[in-house]
Chain A
């Protein structure tokens, strides 16, 4: 079946119908965008040739926003309107930000959900701030590639919990990006490393970024990247070392940083000194505090004494993951270092000592994550041949619900391969109980108070029964992005009870819609026009997908089944050419429903193919 390629209004048809997809590393200190061009993954530079975009957003007068280096220039002089390290605030409540007193921002103290910052441009959520950064990267990619983006793979720390992942996804959507997948940073790094070096075996990825630490163990087998175990600390990074070094230097100099701007200036100076000490034995710490120049000598040994407790914490996390995975240290084939902070000789020594071998350092630790994400994006856009790259990831932290006495009942254990679903039954506590509050938590501790609260549910409409007679089945589903959804039903009566979700630290759908309506990098778009265009793009995707499915497995269909599908496809093509969004959506739904048995047949064929006498050595 030959299908007409219909391009989006305003976009020129592409010569090879290649889909342009990018990988984005949304980092604590800086962010990058990368794409695969002519088979090679590369980070895309800005007009000045820089690939690193400082993750800084400054709200200026007159509704203008500066992002990157120009924003960073205001960090010390205009700290309340210059947001840096916003990643540390994603999916976090005020109580979680233990250094909120140290940060220069005006937090909105309403104690509900995710933190909000009060700026010149109004109250901003970390999601909106991150979206500003992502929008700049999207524009950079569209300019460089001179194409509309099919979508993006955005990386998150492996140890990010559900709220932090969801916040990242919301930010990308707010920035006008279609999120093909969220993947873990260490996994992305291993893809870049493994594909470039055709590596096989068990690898450890040690990723110390500006604000987060991750350790992952992965097995690489012919293009399949399988996460074995992951761990870390989502609030530990190079930033902490900078802050500790700044505090040490100021104490030495006998000065106090009392204003937000002074504290910023001291941290910036500390970071510069830390970076210099990766290659030099000594350097000078220089900054201006309260208009007075502060300058003092710093030896590498000073920095190492200050950084040691933080590095020790990373090694404790590495030890825990190695134990969790039940692997012997010397069975690990290589250690990949990721993140700017791994340039510190102290970190390299500590990793070397633990594993008894030198870590691999032939990749730029700043770029490797974005490069790997670009490879995955290219594969998800369908540009890579089947079998060349497949990523099998895990849940980083256990998921469960609160039971009597503030205890956690785990439903999905950490390091379970995803996607996954698991159901657990619960019962009522009182006679005639018709409602049940369900509190979803994430973490490894036994007490609810020690875990992350993800969401609260109210389950209503349970038929009145004696205590203990109802059977409430709660199903947790974690998709391939590592995002959780929860369903609940009463099993004995078959009654589907209504569920309302209130994310503890996320944005509600209404809030996301409102932010989208307020316009984000596409202010010229009218919502209705945009929705129509999205429906048209979705229709094109569906038709193209169907065409390729029919081309490869069309013979599975009987003549009448084929005729029915062809007729519905023709209807969709006709509606697609029009302007009626709901008609397009109806036609898509009809076609999708009609092709469901065909999709199931094709999947069966795939499974049989996997089993058909294949030997382990071919797999």
Chain B
């Protein structure tokens, strides 16, 4: 097996199966094991060529880790590997019903006057998010339908962005 920087995908690099359902603790443990081999600190007294190679690999491992550890990025990476890139920048067309729901949530958040109001939005959002992640997992791991999975990924990108806004509002309440 040739482990050159460019020739392996994130899953191969981490020695994990190409599936959506992965255990976060295992991903973390893999990252520690890989960094223990390639981190530049392991080559602190080595020659410049080794240190450069180590830094390149350590960056590659961290990059892969970011994509694998976050379920949404992991889902996007799997779609991409299956030949269906997400293209979030130029593919923002979403079903009308989804957009209506988004607008309703945004309005609810804007009108929220109390902590309880925000928590109600949060509960709603969490439910929808859980459903979507389940559908994403089924599309990727069971039906191997990357096109359907990519739709879920795009919807979840909207939802996660909105969730971050909700969190900011919660933080503002907590001071």
Report which A residues bind B (CB closer than 8 A): 19, 180-181, 219, 221, 224, 226, 316, 319-320, 323, 379-382, 386-387, 390-392, 416-421, 477, 479-480, 541-542, 544-546, 548-549, 591-593, 595-596, 598-600, 602-604, 606-611, 614, 616, 619
Contact = CB atoms under 8 A, between A and B. Distances in A.
A592 B49 CA distance: 6
Nearest to A228: B28
Contacts of B15: 611
Contacts of A611: 15, 34
A323 B62 contact: no
Contacts of B45: 19, 380-382, 541, 544-545
Contact of A599 (B26, B39, B50, B63): B50
Contacts of B35: 224, 390, 392
Given A386-B42, A545-B50, A619 B58 contact: no
Contact of B53 (A226, A479, A603): A603
Given A416-B66, A549-B50, A604-B4, 7 more contacts: A390-B39, A420-B62, A542-B48, A595-B49, A599-B47, A599-B53, A608-B3
Contacts of B37: 603, 606-607, 609-610
A600 B53 contact: yes
A417 to B, nearest CB: 4
Contacts of B50: 545, 549, 595, 599, 602-603
Q: Of B1, B39, B53, which is in contact with the most chain A CB atoms at under 10 Å from its CB?
A: B53
A479 to B, nearest CB: 7
A606 B28 CA distance: 18
B88 interface: no
Interface residues of B, number: 44
Given A419-B58, A599-B50, A610 B41 contact: no
Interface in B65-120: 65-66
Contact of B38 (A421, A591, A598, A607): A607
Report, nearest first, the 7 A-B pairs whose CB atoms are least far apart: A606-B37, A382-B45, A599-B49, A599-B50, A380-B44, A619-B33, A596-B49
A546 B3 CA distance: 22
11 contacts: A224-B32, A379-B41, A417-B65, A419-B40, A480-B55, A548-B46, A593-B49, A599-B52, A600-B53, A607-B38, A616-B26
B73 to A, nearest CB: 12
B22 interface: no
A547 B145 CA distance: 53
B142 interface: no
B41 A608 contact: no
Contacts of B62: 416-420
Nearest to A477: B59
Given A420-B62, A607-B57, A611-B15, A480 B41 contact: yes
Contacts of A380: 41, 44-45
Contacts of B174: 316, 319
A541 to B, nearest CB: 7
B109 to A, nearest CB: 17
B170 to A, nearest CB: 8
Given A416-B62, A616-B26, A619-B33, A323 B55 contact: no
Contacts of B66: 416-417
B53 A221 contact: no
B136 to A, nearest CB: 19
B33 A603 contact: no
Contacts of A320: 171
Contacts of A595: 47, 49-50
Given A607-B57, A608-B1, A619-B29, A387 B47 contact: no
Interface string B160-175: 0000000100010011
A379 B3 CA distance: 27
B135 interface: no
Contact of A381 (B3, B44, B65): B44
B90 to A, nearest CB: 13
Given A382-B45, A417-B65, A609-B37, A603 B59 contact: no
B21 interface: no
Q: Of A417, A479, A544, A549, which is in contact with the most chain B CB atoms at under 10 Å from its CB?
A: A417
B3 A607 contact: yes
A221 B47 contact: no
Nearest to A394: B62
B151 interface: no
B44 A604 contact: no
B75 to A, nearest CB: 18
Nearest to B2: A604
B18 interface: no
B54 interface: yes
A619 B30 contact: yes
Given A391-B41, A599-B53, A611-B15, A316 B175 contact: yes
Contact of B59 (A219, A392, A419): A419
Contacts of A603: 37-38, 50, 53-54, 57
A595 B32 CA distance: 27
B125 to A, nearest CB: 15
A287 to B, nearest CB: 36
Nearest to A618: B33
Nearest to A19: B45
Contacts of B54: 603
Nearest to A481: B40
Contacts of A606: 37-38
